[in-house]
Amino acid sequence: MPINYPENRQVVVDRVKTDIQNELPVSEPFLRRAYLPAFAVGYAGGIYDEYTAQKGLQYEMFPDTATGTFANRWGSYKGITRDAATQAIGYLTVTGTIGVIIPINTVFVSSDGFQYKTLYDSQILARLISISSLTRSGSLAYAVTPSDHHLADGAIVTISGAAQTEYNIAAAITVTSNTSFTYTIVGTPATPATGTIVAAYTFTSVQIQSITYGIDTNLDSGSELFIVTPIAGVNSSAFVQYDGIAGGTDEESDDTFKNRYLYAYQHPVSYFNVAELIIQARKINGVDRVFVEEITPDVGQVTIYFTMASSVNVIPTPSEVTVVRNKILEIKAAHVDPADVIVLAPTPLPITFNFSTLVPNTSTMQAAIIANLQQMFLEEPIVGQNLSKYAYQAAIKQSVDTATGMSVTSFSLSSPTTDIVCGAGVLATYNSCNF
């Protein structure tokens, strides 16, 4: 039998005053500025507050509407706990005078005010970085190193040893991967360059971790940090390396947490089946979608792909893949070889949308289309499966200009125009829009 709750406080006030008058006809509880009506209003207010609390509590009685500590309890019945906020971690390139030591717990701060501390002592040294390949395209030189160079965008690196002397300069670099960077040269020397080529740079690479927690503590490659307490011989500015400062996440929201434990209620597990693999992987903070391919690539094997909600492009890093694989191996059956549990990051297929026409073509409509496409790519694509053209076309058509309230009247794309084809292990991802 449903409980009928009063629509507002005044309904309860009127009911209390009416009951008083029925019991005491000469009491006149509806008079204004009298003692008895004041008592009635106060009493009714307390009753209404009880109704409100009771109405809120009834939602906590069910797993799909519970919140906060009540949701935590529903999750605990399935062995699922809410993910706590985490700290961001990564590497920083710091420059200065040769021999100076940067102590453990040295604090750097970002332009947004977030603080990071070094995790160990680190000494600034003059370093020579081997270059295994140096090529040119136009005025841009492309350097490849045999191992991680630990450089950051904007570093002034001295290149030497190339037989083609135009390559041998001190130049600001742009880091393109952990083992490659580019810089600008003058002239048209032969490519590839020959000789024993090295890059010289005085710096140290030090691991840092955010002092506070949350997704806002993540930083992109090349972000600038500033030392809080100056150290003689250490430059005040330092720069984030290619992989960025990553891993910072907010405490898991009610919606995401409920999505995880409701999946466990709705999909009873048998040992090491698809449902259990998905539940186990999603116990790692930030793991969003999980794709399990049974008997892949061979009998007795399983391949698991996943995406990260906390990542800009949803593709997990190698370290995140390792963390998830280790979590899954916690529930591995005794007869299963760990080598047969294959956990991989999807291979991204970045999609750029090139518009030939768009009506109305306003900046706010463009922003709405970008937002809709980004959301669609977070929800629709499946690893190894083609993405239907109707999925991205619908995302565009359903966009609404936030400034005018107008919908898309018409549009045409020069690319893509068909289904987006994804091979094994490939996931379609959003890249950009050209209007």
pLDDT in tens, 164-173: 999 999 999 9
Instruction: Give the angle 324-310-276 at the CA atoms, nearest 5°.
Output: 35
For residues 195 and 14, the model is more confident at 195
Mean pLDDT of the chain: 93
Q: Is the peptide bond before 416 cis (omega within 30 degrees of 0)?
A: yes
Work out whether the CA dihedral 233, 239, 242, 248 comes out positive or negative: positive
Residue 366 has pLDDT above 90, yes or no: yes
What's the chain's Rg over C-alpha atoms? Answer: 30
Average pLDDT estimate for 186-190? 95
What per-residue confidence (pLDDT) applies to 37?
81
- The rounded distance, in Å, linking the Cα atoms of 289 and 281 is 9
Average pLDDT estimate for 55-68? 90
For residues 17 and 118, the model is more confident at 118
- The rounded distance, in Å, linking the Cα atoms of 152 and 177 is 10
Average pLDDT estimate for 379-383? 95
- Encoded tokens for 422: 């994804």
- The rounded distance, in Å, linking the Cα atoms of 49 and 330 is 48
For residues 24 and 123, the model is more confident at 123
Burial of 286: CB neighbours in 10 Å, binned 0-12, 13-18, 19+: buried
What per-residue confidence (pLDDT) applies to 42?
87
pLDDT level of residue 63 (50, 70, 90 thresholds): very high
- The rounded distance, in Å, linking the Cα atoms of 428 and 416 is 12
- Encoded tokens for 375: 């959301």
Residue 1 has pLDDT above 80, yes or no: no
For residues 36 and 221, the model is more confident at 221
144-148, 262-266, 354-358 — which is least confidently predicted? 262-266
Average pLDDT estimate for 185-213? 96
Burial per residue of 344-364, b for 16 or more beta-carbon CB atoms within 10 angstroms, e otherwise: bbbbbbebebebeebeeebee
Average pLDDT estimate for 242-257? 92
Task: Identify residue 188 by its one-letter amino acid code.
Answer: T
Phi-psi map region of 357: left, alpha, beta (phi>0 left; psi -120 to 50 alpha): beta
50-59, 235-244, 384-393 — which is least confidently predicted? 50-59
Quick one: which H or E segment has residue 195? strand 195-210
Q: Are strands 224-227 and 234-240 parallel, antiparallel or unpaired?
A: antiparallel
Work out whether the CA dihedral 116, 119, 120, 122 comes out positive or negative: negative
What per-residue confidence (pLDDT) applies to 30?
81
What per-residue confidence (pLDDT) applies to 312?
60
Residue 378 has pLDDT above 60, yes or no: yes
53-62, 86-95, 230-239, 254-263 — which is least confidently predicted? 53-62
Quick one: which H or E segment has residue 349? strand 347-359
pLDDT level of residue 245 (50, 70, 90 thresholds): very high
Average pLDDT estimate for 73-77? 94
Task: Identify residue 348 by its one-letter amino acid code.
Answer: P
What per-residue confidence (pLDDT) applies to 311?
65
- Other beta carbons within 10 angstroms of residue 5's beta carbon come to 13
Instruction: Give the angle 156-158-164 at the CA atoms, nearest 5°.
Output: 130
Q: Are 168 and 154 in contact (CB under 8 A)?
A: no
- The rounded distance, in Å, linking the Cα atoms of 111 and 114 is 8
45-49, 133-137, 245-249, 420-424 — which is least confidently predicted? 45-49
Closest CA relative to residue 158, chosen from 171, 139, 141, 175: 171
What per-residue confidence (pLDDT) applies to 56?
82
- Other beta carbons within 10 angstroms of residue 387's beta carbon come to 22
What per-residue confidence (pLDDT) applies to 20?
87
What per-residue confidence (pLDDT) applies to 325?
97
Model pLDDT for residues 288-315, shown as the tens digit of each residue: 999 999 999 999 999 999 999 866 679 9
- The rounded distance, in Å, linking the Cα atoms of 21 and 406 is 56
DSSP state of 249: B
177-191, 201-215, 298-312, 403-417 — which is least confidently predicted? 298-312
Q: Are strands 426-434 and 347-359 parallel, antiparallel or unpaired?
A: parallel
69: three-class secondary structure by DSSP: helix
What per-residue confidence (pLDDT) applies to 333?
86
Q: What percent of the chain has pLDDT over 90?
A: 79
Contacts of 412 (CB under 8 A, 6+ apart): 355, 356, 357
